[in-house]
Amino acid sequence: MSSDRELKSKRRAAKLATLEAKPEFQILSNFMKQTDSSPAIAVQQILELTTLSYKLGALGEHFYNTACSIIALGQRTALEQQSELVTLVSELQENTILDPKTGKPLSHDNELVWTELPTFSWTFGDELHDGCTLI
């Protein structure tokens, strides 16, 4: 019988494998691997994914996957390179998505997309408080 530690490790590995397959993780991971890459390309890809997620009714999942991907990549990234993730998030935050139905800024859970980083606060809080259950 496996110990609690082994079970937690297996669960984490499974969750991480699931996260790594998500397009949000792939976009951010590719950005971090390219040392001369501008965050603008990754930001544009995330914005396109945001529009698609809105059309599919999956904005919450998209924001959660993005936040978890940032946590996971931050944990894997050397301290001197973590500023690249911060820059990317800052540039992402400079964008407001318009609701195609109303023409007004799109919001999720009463937070403007991407200006107010919907779901990031509770995702970061939950994942870090719980010992990064996802990671």
| DSSP bridge pairs for 111 | 108
pLDDT in tens, 25-64: 999 999 999 877 789 999 999 999 999 999 999 999 999 9
Distance CA 38, CA 87 (A): 10
Collapse the DSSP code of 26 into the 3-class scheme (helix H, G, I; strand E, B; otherwise coil) and give the result.
helix
* Secondary structure tally for the chain: helices H, strands E: 6, 2
pTM, to two decimals: 0.87
Measured CA to CA in angstroms, residue 134 lies from 6, 44, 60, 72, 130 at distances of 15, 26, 16, 8, 9
pLDDT in tens, 80-90: 989 999 999 99
Domain ranges for the chain, please list them: 4-129
Give every CB contact of residue 29 below 8 A, 6+ residues apart in sequence: 20, 69, 73
DSSP H or E run through 49:
helix 39-56
